[in-house]
Each structure stands twice: as structure tokens, then as C-alpha cells.
Amino acid sequence: MSSASTAAIQAPPLAKVFHFDSPREVYTADACVISCFDARFDRALRKFFKRRGIQVYDHVKIPASVKPWAMPDGGADSDILLRALGTSLRLHHPGKVLLFGHTDCGGYPDTPNAVVVQDLVL
Ligand SMILES: [Zn+2]
């Protein structure tokens, strides 16, 4: 590795750029939500949660949502999902687990919606 590339990876000094006081108490979640990380659906999900009375939730966002669980070779993403769900269950005892998929997901190129829906049914 050249000295030029070593210099390029040096991090700048840390600086506090934002301050916000968050609650310190551990909470009980109304739900653990697993969805695709596609931000186009954030607003719709928030509206859905509000209508269903879901105020506090753990949100696991990963590309293509639960697709790794539906694939035989889900691999590392499958493990990440399981660990995140397990941590939510252990720490926040959600009353329900909600799985979301969406149409035109980049994780499901050229895939009929019925296949995406099938992956959400565990
Ligand atoms: Zn997606």
C-alpha cells in the first residue's frame, strides 16, 4: 500500500454536530417490523402503523425484506435478519412481528408480485 492511499483513509477529527436527548428507559415494542430498506415506502408504513395503533416498534430494514429467509442460500443476510429479530424479541418483547414486501422491489427484479407475497408467508 502506498503512502498516498494510507493518507487517504485517515479519518478527520470527530466533531459533535447534533444533540438530542432520547429516553433512556428500555421500552416494550408494539411490533418488530421487517421491511425492505427502500425509502419510498416509509411514509406509507408510518401511516399504516398509525392506523393500526402501532406507536413503538423495532424496524429492521434490509434490501428485499425477508427474501433471504425464502432462499435456500440466504446466507449472511438471513443470519442478520434472525439476529435482529432475536434481539428485538429479547430486549423489547414486541407483541407482533410484521413482514412487509413491496411491488417493483430491486431485490426481486422481474419477479411477479405473487412470488414476493409468497416469501412473506412464513
Ligand atoms: Zn425493495
Ligand 1: centre distance to CA 12 (Å): 34
Compute the radius of gyration of the chain from its Cα atoms: 19
pTM of the model: 0.81
Q: What pLDDT is stored for residue 65 in this prediction?
A: 87
Across residues 82-106, what is the average pLDDT?
Answer: 94
Taking phi over 0 as left and psi of -120 to 50 as alpha, with beta for the rest, 72 belongs to: alpha
Residue 52 CA neighbour count, 13 Å, CB half: 15
Across residues 18-47, what is the average pLDDT?
Answer: 96
Ligand 1: centre distance to CA 75 (Å): 18
Q: Is the pLDDT of residue 5 over 90?
A: no
List strand residue ranges (DSSP E) for the chain, in order: 31-35, 57-61, 97-99
- The tens digit of pLDDT for each residue in 43-69 reads 999 999 999 999 999 999 999 888 888
Return the higher-pLDDT residue of 122 and 75. 75
Name the pLDDT band for 27 (thresholds 50, 70, 90).
very high
Ligand 1: centre distance to CA 35 (Å): 8
Domain ranges across the chain: 26-120
